[in-house]
Structure 1
Amino acid sequence: MLIVLRHGQSTANAAGLFTGVLDAPLSDQGIREAHTATVLLNLALPGERPPTTGTGTGSPAMITAPAPAAAPVTLFTSTLTRARQTAAIVAAGLARPPVGCGADWRLNEHNYSALTGRSKDDVRAEFGEEQFVAWRRSVAEAPPAMGDLLYDEFAGTALFRALPAAALNRTEALSDVITRVDAFLTEHVDPLLARGETVLVVAHGNSLQALCAVIDGLSDGQIRDLNLPTGQPLVYRFDARGRPVPFGGRYLDSVTALAVALTLANEGGT
């Protein structure tokens, strides 16, 4: 079983900013979302009491299958504060603590480049709706590159000084995020799933969008339309051939997840 969880709301999310590699912490709401996610996970993890109602495939839905025998849980997170905070809250609250925890920069959020830290409303007003949506939702189109001043500012932080040079580019498209997330899955997640273990990945809207694109084999159009709400665990189970069942996974709280996803879509997407 693979569970993916977008971090709780960050202060930058709350302010309506292009966040990307901006290392914003959780907001008060984001902290509450992380605790709520922990409650949902404790109901659904193997060996715990699962939810007993729900329907649907391919759309957010409640887990309906009986819980299998308990399996070790390994947790992975990005190296950004908002994901690490969420992961710490979840790990501390799980009835069965993870047997291992790791942070990997390849799970970091899409680098919004020169847009980083800017108001989404201001960018939309300056460049128009079509370009705004392309920068947020396109698989192939990268935002404008960081200038020297902004790049040097981020490169000089303790976070990026401790990471490989590849962790900070001047710009990247979502296709680049898909490539690095795919490599992470191959290296760390696939071997654990092959042994029947449970993996929990706490990351970001776009890096988890990339993860879902790899797992579900999504087209560019399906990727563009995928919106992942903060603090809502999404569960993937797999058949004997390693294919997700159902396609798109299942949210543990389908009602809330769907409502938030619709709001995200109206705001221009994840």
Structure 2
Amino acid sequence: MRTLILLRHGESAWNSKNLFTGWIDVDLTSHGEDQARDSGRSLRAAGLLPQSVHTSVLTRAARTAALAVEAAGTDAPIARHWRLNERHYGALQGREKSEILREFGAKRFRQWRRSYDLAPPPAPVDGTGDAAHDARYADLPRELLPRTESLADVTARLLPYWHDAVVPDLRAGRTVLVVAHSNSLRALVAHLDRLGREELLDLNIPTGMPLRYDLDEDLVPLVRGGRYLDPRAAAEAAADVADQGRRRLGTTR
């Protein structure tokens, strides 16, 4: 059996403001830092000490990984890679979610957030947060730097890293922790569980909640969907993620 733990980063400064973040690099809030440390302590209590850690190059995920590993009491190496970055939300980045919901309607809002193959309008060249001006991506050909992405695009860029970096760690028998983002983790869960497009619409991954997958020798999940270490809290937090955008319009459940 192989063990994989998925963890969405702790609450970021823009999560707390209900903004589309994408590739914009923002830090954790103090609550997000607490979530990261709590995640590490939960892993330690469950006997799941990571032996290999993979995260994105974005600060909110990288810091979550570092804080969680420290709290777990392990010195596991941490690898960072842009292929684990959040989905690029194009022209939506930096905009408040309830404003987008109001402007474009519930159907388009949900499609942009949760569908498989619909990308938001592209961000302008040289606009705010253009990755072409970020030193972390200086060695990448410009054509690899997105201006918008669908979940299908995220899947296409993520899977090479999964196969080349994460899978070898799993096959070597290491307990692997992947700390990433809502949509990069949705793409990975969809790959693991072979989710259909309609199922993807209802897949919401909460911040700071470790999700355990036990995999067979072919890296097929023994339990489809895995198991959150705290299932009740994760279900409540996932429902809150689904409600983003409606909260500030006074239409939450």
| Shared fold (TM-score, shorter chain, > 0.5) | yes
Letter in 2 for 1:254: P
Letter in 2 for 1:156: H
Match of 2:52 among 74, 91, 94: 74
What is the CA deviation profile of residues 208-247 of structure 1, one whole-angstrom value per residue up to 9, with x for unaligned ones?
Answer: 0001011111111112211110000001111234310111
Is the counterpart of residue 87 in structure 1 residue 89 in structure 2?
A: no
Letter in 2 for 1:92: E
Q: Report the TM-score when normalising by structure 2.
A: 0.90
Structure-1 separation of matches of 2:154 and 2:43: 27
RMSD: 1.9
5 Å-filtered alignment, 1:1-16, equals 1-16=3-18
Structure-2 separation of matches of 1:195 and 1:87: 21
1:35 corresponds to which residue?
37
Report SS of the residue matched to 1:202.
strand
1:223 corresponds to which residue?
200
Identical aligned residues as a percent: 42
Match of 2:228 among 251, 254, 257: 251
Q: Tell whether the 8 Å contact from 2:23 to 2:129 is kept in structure 1 after alignment.
A: no
2:209 corresponds to which residue?
232
Report SS of the residue matched to 1:21.
coil
What is the CA deviation profile of residues 53-92 of structure 1, one whole-angstrom value per residue up to 9, with x for unaligned ones?
Answer: xxxxxxxxxxxxxxxxxxx710010000100110110122
Mean alpha-carbon deviation: is it higher for 235-244 or for 163-172? Answer: 163-172
Q: What's the CA shift for 1:8?
A: 0.1
Report SS of the residue matched to 1:256.
helix
Letter in 2 for 1:120: K
Mean alpha-carbon deviation: is it higher for 153-162 or for 181-190? Answer: 153-162
- CA gap of 1:167–1:76, structure 2 versus 1, over 3 A, is farther
Structure 2: 5+ residue stretches without partners: 247-253
Structure-2 separation of matches of 1:104 and 1:176: 16
Structure-2 separation of matches of 1:245 and 1:21: 33
Q: What's the CA shift for 1:167?
A: 5.0
1:194 corresponds to which residue?
171
Structure 1: 5+ residue stretches without partners: 49-71
Q: What's the CA shift for 1:123?
A: 1.0
Letter in 2 for 1:15: K
Structure-2 separation of matches of 1:202 and 1:242: 19
Structure-2 separation of matches of 1:27 and 1:162: 30
5 Å-filtered alignment, 1:89-238, equals 89-98=67-76, 100-150=77-127, 153-161=130-138, 163=140, 165=142, 168-238=145-215
The ranges of structure 1 where at least 4 consecutive aligned residues each deviate by more than 6 angstroms after the TM superposition are: none
Structure-2 separation of matches of 1:83 and 1:168: 19
- CA gap of 1:259–1:152, structure 2 versus 1, over 3 A, is closer
Structure-1 separation of matches of 2:173 and 2:129: 43
- CA gap of 1:238–1:268, structure 2 versus 1, over 3 A, is farther
Q: What's the CA shift for 1:147?
A: 1.4
